[in-house]
Amino acid sequence: MREWWRDAVIYQIYPRSFQDTSGNGMGDLAGITQRLPHVASLGVDAIWLSPFFTSPDRDMGYDVSDYTGVSDLYGSIEDFDALIARAHDLGLKVIIDQVLSHSSDQHPWFTESRKDRTNPKADWYIWADPQADGTPPNNWLSIFGGSAWQFDPVRRQYYMHNFLTSQPDLNFHNPQVVDALLDVMKFWLDRGVDGFRLDTVNFYVHDAELRDNPASDWTDFPGNPYEAQNHIHSKSQPFNLEVLQKMRALTESYEARMMVGEVGEMGDRQVELMGEYTSGGDKLHMAYSFAMLSHDHTAKHFRRCIETFQKAAPDGCPSWSFSNHDVERHVSRWAKPGEEEAVAKQSIALLCSFPGSLGLFQGEELGQTQTDIEFHELQDTANIAFWPDYKGRDGCRTPMTWDAGQPNAGFSTADPWLPVKPPQAANAVAGQEAANDSTLHHYRAALAHRKDTPALRMGDTRFTDLPEPLFAIHRSYSGTTVTGLFNLSGTPQTVTLTGEATPTGPQNATLNAGTITLPAFGYIYLSTTGEIALAA
């Protein structure tokens, strides 16, 4: 039987911004449960919950101080159990974030570890002596700016942190650490979760010799110095594979569970690692990277990502998405003013043509745009050092908009933790439900077409060479080929079709006497049982 996750559509929910039921301006687990019928109505297969665990919230929950506790902000463990039950009643699987590469500095494990060099958890984190002149052990850098090392005056050593100084990295070279994290995963599996999204999965293991990273191949020095290094020693180490194999063995001991890992790398290496981490059937079930969460909106880029993965892992399973909680929303990245709706509608048709599983970020089904956050409104202070060149992640994390006629677009009766502004409120669910040609209805149609088309879910993949901005992908299964043809620009294009094909599914292009006319951001699906040829 084919595993459910191989072609699943996974809808990401950012709990703090989905629905507030407590009146404190922040979303909660009960609010998610209340709104699950909307999610189910899209035709998705699963939800992914960003962290809701006990945390001081220095990085919005990605700094966990209790891996098996629920933050008071979001409710209780009973609220989580109710969410799981309701999701399963609606036919939705539940995937939860696991932030295992690092913890909060307020986690009891770290509190004990930093006491001295001989306590039982002294080696649970990555500690190293200063160099003779007092400087850090090596040149490794934090993604959020500065050195990846923070001096602790009690131990008189540095501890490593790839992210904030309040997010010390766990030491995966210590078997006790790996076992403890497996116990955490087991706790949630026993609670009924269907899988895990593993945060920064290639950051787990570091070079035990602490060798310096070499410089990257940069021409203009990047805005974030982290990008000036090739991080061959601080992450993505070979031993990482053994850790993933242990995690896979645990999930395989349960029925129909899965893991999807976030790979944080640069360039083609990130897609290659996706393949490496999913090949062989004994590591991750799926992986995704930031490759398609970029500003590159070209046929060459999309094709290269898919082909690079397939070459690295012919038996592996990718997960592709265009937006998430860490990047500018793709409609704002790819569209000029006035093009947003057309880009939003084309984007879901495009994504549905890709092999593997698909990821959607809350509000994406509304064609939601990036919120313009002013400096005094900032909550994501992790990246404040790079303002205004980089305005942080708040703009994509603003509250879900449900009804433009309600206070804060129906998200909360109180002032929300991030503002709901008019451009985002205008895209609210209620208004789109009432409009037959809305982006929301288009998402439902595109996802239903994919679910009803075996070639799009399970087919082999090949491409036709066409000049930019044209992208043609062919998915073949059981004697039927479905071709997706896309114009990735705001300028109309024409393509000549040779052979017999029938338009199928959502489209805004026309086929007439062998000529396909694609409007700005046009798209069409063609079904055929024979050979066809496309030419620009």
Q: Residue 272 and residue 286: Cα distance in Å, rounded?
A: 13
β strands within 348-431, DSSP E = 357-361
The reply to whether 66 belongs to the active site is: no
Tokens for 225, please give them: 């110095």
CA dihedral 311, 313, 318, 323 (to 10 degrees): -50
In angstroms, rounded to a whole number, what is the distance separating the alpha carbons of residues 394 and 377? Answer: 9
Query: Where would I find the H helices in 313-353?
Result: 330-334, 340-351
Distances (CA, A) of 298 to 295, 445, 486, 490: 9, 24, 11, 13
DSSP states of 418-447 as a string? Answer: S---HHHHTT-HHHHHT-TTSHHHHHHHHH
Q: Is the dihedral of CA 205, 207, 212, 216 positive or negative?
A: negative
Peptide bond between residue 168 and the one before it cis (omega within 30 degrees of 0): no
265 has catalytic annotation: yes
Report which of 100, 109, 108, 90 is spatially closest to residue 11, judged by C-alpha positions.
90
Among the listed residues 7, 63, 79, 199, the single catalytic one is 199
What residue type is 117 in one-letter code?
A: R
Q: Given 265, 272, 276, 340, which residue is catalytic? A: 265
- Distance of alpha carbon 26 from alpha carbon 45, whole angstroms: 26
CB atoms closer than 10 angstroms to residue 214: 12
Tokens at 70, concatenated: 């629920």
Residue 149 in tokens? 């090392």
> Residue 435 has which token pair?
């409009």
What are the residues facing 96 on neighbouring strands?
49, 196
Q: Which two tokens stand for residue 253?
A: 């001991």
Separation CA 238–CA 257 (nearest Å): 25
| Pair type for strands 523-528 and 502-503 | antiparallel
CB 33 within 8 A of CB 86: yes
- Catalytic residues, which ones? 199, 265
